[in-house]
Structure 1
Amino acid sequence: MSGGGWSWLGWALAAILFFWGIGAYNRLMRLRNAIGEAFRQLDQALTARAEACSKLLTLLRPLLANEQATFDALETAQLEASSAAQAARAKPYAGDPLAALAVATAVHGAALTRLNSLVEHHGELSGMSELNALLDELKLIERQRAFARQVFNQAVSQYNEALQQFPTRILAGLYGFAEARSL
Structure 2
Amino acid sequence: MPLTIPPIPNAAPFVAFSDNVGIFSNSKAREIPARLNAIAQALKDHINTLWLGTATSFINGTVIAGLNAALAKIETFSNGIETRINNQMAEFQVNLANYLGTNAGYSVSAANAALFTGGIVAGDIVYDVAGRAVSIRQGPRLINGITYNDDGTMAGYAEKLTLGGITYTRAYSFTYTPDGQIAAITEV
> Normalized against structure 1, the TM-score is what?
0.34
Which one has the bigger helix percentage?
Answer: 1
Q: Which has the higher strand share?
A: 2
Bigger radius of gyration: 2
TM-score (norm 2): 0.33
